[in-house]
Amino acid sequence: MRFFLIFFIFLLGSQVWAQSSMRRCTLLPITDSVGGAIGFKVFEQVEEELKKSNWCTYISNSNLISVFSRYRENLPQYLKSKEVLVTVSEKLKVGSLILVSLKNEINGIDAEIKIFAENGEDLYFSEKSSLKTDEIDVVSEAIKNWLELFAKTIPYDAKINGVLGDQITLDVGKGYPINIGQKFLVKRPIQTKKHPLLKKIVDWETLLLAEGKIFNISDNQALGILKAYKSDKKVVAGDWVRLEEFKEEEKEINEEEKKEDETPGTLGILSMALFGSASSVDTKTPTDSNRMSGNIFGVDFRLEGWITREYFAAIEIERALGSLKETSGNPSKSSVNVNNSTFKLTGGYKYLPIGFFFGPQIDVYTGYVKHTFDLDVSETDGFGKNSISGIVLGTAVNVPLNREYRLVAQAEFIPLPTFNEEDSIYGSAEMATSMELEIGLKYQYTTRMTIDGSIETLSNKARFGGTYKEVSYKDNRVKVGLSFNF
C-alpha cells in the first residue's frame, strides 16, 4: 500500500503548474474616486467580456472579495502592493493580473489600466486616457479595447503544462482558435527587454527548441506531439508554444498520421490474459496446520465499457486450474486438485488530470466481487469448496512513460467480506479479509491494441471460533495478455 500512496502523491505533484500563463487572467476590483459607484458597474461589464473572450481563460476572484472588502478605504494602495498581487496570483493560478483605476474629473474620467505578471512586479501592459464622459458603457468599452490590444502583445499562443515523452499538453484559452493538425514552434524565453522609462516589458528574447503538431483538443487544453528538435535543451513545462498559420489544405491529415494520432477506441476495452500463479492454501484444523502449494494456470477476461467520458462499467471473469502438493503439516491427501474462479462487476469514475485519454488516468470504482475456491474435499484437512465475496472498493492508475509504454497499477479490497462454504467444515467466520494488488506495463503495439504484462498478489483469509480455526489462500501471479480498444 505504501507504493500506491507514494505513486499517487507523485502523480498529483506532476500536475502542478510550473508557471501560470498570461492567458490565465483575473480582473482585480476596479477603484474610483466616488466610493465605487462607477467602478463596480464598469467591473461587471468588463468581467462579462473577459468571460466570453477566447484569448484568456478568465478566473473569477469572487472568493477573494471578502478579503478586498476589508481594505475598502485603502484599496487602491493595497492593490498596488507586490505582496498582494503575488498572493492573488498564487491563489488563482493566473499569470495576468488586470488592474484598472478610475478618477473622476470635472470634464469626465481619467482611466488607467495596468497588467502585471504573476510576480507582482513585471509590467506587461499599461495605458491611460482622459475620457470626456462618465458614461459607464463608454468607460467599459475603452477598457475592453485596451484588453484587445494587450491580447495581441502576448508572445505565445499557449504554454506547456505537461511533457510525456514526445507528447505535450498545452494550456489554451477556452475557444482559442487552434486546430487539429496545426503546426507549432516551441520556444523558451531567455531574457526580457523593458522600456527605460515606463519599466514595462516590450520584448522577449527566445530560443527555438522544437517543432510539432496539434493532434487533440479539449475545452481549455490541447495535446501536441513533437516532430523535430531544434536544440539540445529538453522541452519542459513552462515553455512557450507559438502556432503557425493554419492553411486550408492542412485540414486533411494524411492517413498514416491520422491512424497514429487518433484516440484509440470510443466505446471501451476488451482484455484477455493468461496467467501462471504460485499458489498456496493454509488450514488450521483440530489435528494440525497444513499447507498445500504449487503452480496453477488460468485465463482472465475483462470487458470495460465507457458510459460517458468519465464514467465506466466493467465485468471480469477468471478461471484457474491446477494441483497443489503437501508442503507442511500432515494432511491426509498429498495433493489436491484446484478449480478456482473470480467474478467481478464494477463501475466507477475515470479522472483524466490533463483532459485526454493519452495522459494519466486515475480510476476509482466499486462493485461486487466473488472469489470461489474449489479443492478436492477433505474434511480432515479443511479442504473443500468455499468463497469470499462482498462489495469491493478499488483504485487504478494508468500513466504514460512515453508514446509506447504505460505504467499501470491497481489496488482493491473488500472492506466487509462474507465467507460461504458448501461442505459445512468451518461454519460462520468471525473475520475475513480480501485484498488484491497489481502492477505492470502496457505496450502500444498498434493504435487499438496493447500487449500487457503484470505481476499480481491476491490474499484471501477467513478465521473461525470453532475447532477449525483458519483457512487462507495466497496467489502470486505473472500475467501476460492483450487489450483491444473498440
Query: Pick the residue with more confidence: 388 or 65?
Result: 388
Please give the grid coordinates belonging to residue 133. Answer: 464622459
| pLDDT higher than 60, residue 13 | no
| Stretch among 154-163, 217-226, 361-370, 402-411 having the lowest mean pLDDT | 217-226
Each residue's pLDDT tens digit, 75-132: 777 888 888 889 888 888 899 999 999 998 888 899 999 999 998 888 999 999 999 8
Give the fold, CATH level 3, of 268-485: Lipocalin (2.40.128)
Assign 484 a pLDDT band (cuts: 50, 70, 90).
very high
- Pairing state of beta strands 311-328 and 289-306? antiparallel
> Which residue intervals of the chain bear CATH 2.40.10.410?
158-261
> Which residue intervals of the chain bear CATH 3.40.50.10070?
15-153
Query: Pick the residue with more confidence: 333 or 173?
Result: 333
Strands (E) in 31-120, as ranges, are: 57-58, 96-105, 108-116
Over residues 239-266, the mean pLDDT reads 63
Phi-psi region of 36 (alpha: psi -120 to 50; beta: other; left: phi over 0): left
Q: Is residue 42 within 8 Å of 102, Cβ to Cβ? A: yes
Q: Is residue 283 within 8 Å of 260, Cβ to Cβ? A: no
pLDDT at 18: 45
C-alpha 84/C-alpha 96 separation (Å) is 14
* The architecture CATH gives domain 15-153: 3-Layer(aba) Sandwich (3.40)
Over residues 336-364, the mean pLDDT reads 88
Over residues 165-177, the mean pLDDT reads 79
pLDDT at 469: 92
DSSP run (H or E) holding 168: strand 167-171
> Which residue intervals of the chain bear CATH 2.40.128.100?
268-485
Assign 4 a pLDDT band (cuts: 50, 70, 90).
very low
* The architecture CATH gives domain 158-261: Beta Barrel (2.40)
What is the 3-state secondary structure of 297-363?
A: EEEEEEEEEECCCCEEEEEEEEEEEEEEEEEECCCCCCEEEEEEEEEEEEEEEEECCCCCCCCCEEE
